[in-house]
Every structure is written in C-alpha cells, then in structure tokens.
Amino acid sequence: MCEDTANFRSDTINRYSFTEKCLRGDFHEETKDYDLMTVVVLRLGSKGENSGDNAIRLLSKMFSLDLSYEEKINTLQNEFQIRVSREMSEEVLSVCNLSTGVYSKGYDSGISAGKMEQARETAYELWDMGMSNEKIAKAIKVSMETLKIWLEERAEMLVK
C-alpha cells in the first residue's frame, strides 16, 4: 500500500503476477506451483479519500492524518456501514497512532537531515576560511570522523 504517491498514480490498484523465465538449464516448474504468487499495490494518494473504490477510500480515511479517531469511527459506521466493536475501536486507535507515528518519524527524519546538511555546508565554509578541523568539528558538534568524511567527499567533488 502506497499512502503518499504521485498524483498521477493516486487512486489506482495494480496486480503483478509471477511468470517463469528459465535463465539456465532446461527445468521448468509447473505453473500451478508458482502462479498463486501475486502482489497487489494500492496507491491511495491525494485522490484516495474521494475514490470510487471502497477499499482505497476506506484505507485512505483510516490512515488519514486529517481525520480524528472519532471521525474515523463515524466513517466506518456511517459511510461503510461497518459495525464497530470494542476490539475494532482499539484497532482504529492503533492505526491512528501508527499514522501519527509514521508522519512524526518522517518529519523528524527530514528535520535531522536538514540540520546535518546545514552543518556540512557550515563546515565547508569554515574550512574555506582556514579554520582547523578540530575547531570546525567542535563548532558544528560533529565527530572528527564525520568531518573528515565530509571534507574528503567535497575534495572528490571538486576534482570531478
């Protein structure tokens, strides 16, 4: 399932099936032994919550960061006529927490990556100004090992 996909892929379902291609030798497996393997990809995307396909619409709404737990329960009951038991209610809460956790991790990861890229750029500028490696590492709060790798990578880029 692809929750956040390019708009042109949004609201699509594709099935991929396996076929045999013998690359070496003459042995062939009977089709019945491998044709049961199938991959189905649901791409939700921005169009998912308004999809004409119930599966895509349901999953889009359950994994939405914009809908509250209560709105998701109401959606299950009213839009999809699904009776929500106590156990299912707990599962929906779990999905809500999972969606929020995945979003938060992605956000935090992006922030961290941005901070590291800024530190790298600052290291290059300080090095160009003639500051010692020890002072640069201390100023931007990275290890000497990390700084050494960055400076080596930069030197390789400048040579190319």
Tokens 């949004």 belong to 10
Q: What is the chain's mean pLDDT, rounded?
A: 82
Residue 152: pLDDT band (50, 70, 90) is confident
- Give the integer Cα–Cα distance in Å for 41 and 93: 24
pLDDT given at position 139: 92
CB 79 within 8 A of CB 67: no
Sequence ranges of the domains in the chain = 1-51
- Give the integer Cα–Cα distance in Å for 50 and 54: 9
* Residue 70 or 106, more confident: 70
* Residue 109 or 73, more confident: 73
Residue 129 has pLDDT above 90, yes or no: yes
pLDDT given at position 72: 86
pLDDT tens digits, one per residue of 75-128: 999 999 989 888 888 887 777 666 555 555 666 667 777 888 888 899 999 999
Residue 134 has pLDDT above 90, yes or no: yes
The share of the chain scoring above pLDDT 90, in percent, equals 13
